[in-house]
Homo-oligomer: A and B are copies of this chain.
Amino acid sequence: MTAGASSPRVLVWNEGVHEEIDPGVAARYPRGIHGTIAEALGRLIPGAEVGTATLAEPEHGLTEEALAQTDVLLWWGHIAHDRVDDEIVERVKRHVLGGMGLVVLHSAHFSKIFISLMGTSCALQWRDEGERELVWCVAPEHPIARGIPFPLVIDEQETYAEHFDIPAPDELVFISSFSGGEVFRSGVTYTRGRGRIFYFSPGDQAYPVYDHPDVQRVLANGVEWATPLSREREPIVVLNPPRDWFEKPRG
């Protein structure tokens, strides 16, 4: 059982640009990266309602109405971060702080929404040589690690490496190593406002990482972990309460 309501309502967002311009990506992910992920989540999370949205849609598919109906948003982006409208980023952030879960994927470490929530540059080191990534869990009792092999092996993947300019995470769940010897904090959690955030780095447009059953399982676990306790958005706001406001009336 997860933190939140059962049957989470999930929205998988993808910029969806590589699929349009790169035949290799289109062949690898014929339904788009978002389609592959959405299919997996629908299959793995009992009762989940899973939709998708992309950059090209009006308001990037992230209307106030769509977000209000979303328990957990997943975000994939890479070459079009700067095409995401600032106003929509603010809208998404408002929903996260009010309770919506957010799962940030791979190159979305550089998305406006992640940088804005972290407060750091989110820079990292990278190399694209198809190295083997070993994903080691260092929090074996964490629900995001449930059912994940130790290690999770990805035969070919882009290398992400430290320094990764993020705040010290609330929880460090996974550390990856790569064939070249670099390491990376590849699975980290944060709470910001009332929203739970999970960043998971494995996943790329150039490798079939999102077809990997263990990666799919991590994402499903992440969605369940990030599901809020309530479907209401309850942002923390400024109040000016009188003294003894919490006293019950006596009489």
On A, residues with C-beta under 8 Å from B are 1-4, 6, 97, 99, 116-121, 123-127, 129, 131-132, 134, 136-143, 146, 150-151, 153, 161-165, 167-168, 170-172, 175-177, 179-183, 185, 190-196, 224-225, 228-229, 234-244, 246, 248
Contacts and interface: CB of A to CB of B under 8 A. Distances in A.
Given A141-B99, A243-B129, A121 B235 contact: yes
Q: Is the interface of A mostly helix, strand, loop or mixed?
A: loop
Contacts of A240: 125-127
A236 B121 contact: yes
Contact of A6 (B1, B164, B192): B1
Contact of A168 (B153, B171, B175, B225): B171
Contacts of A161: 241
A3 B175 contact: no
Contacts of A137: 162-163
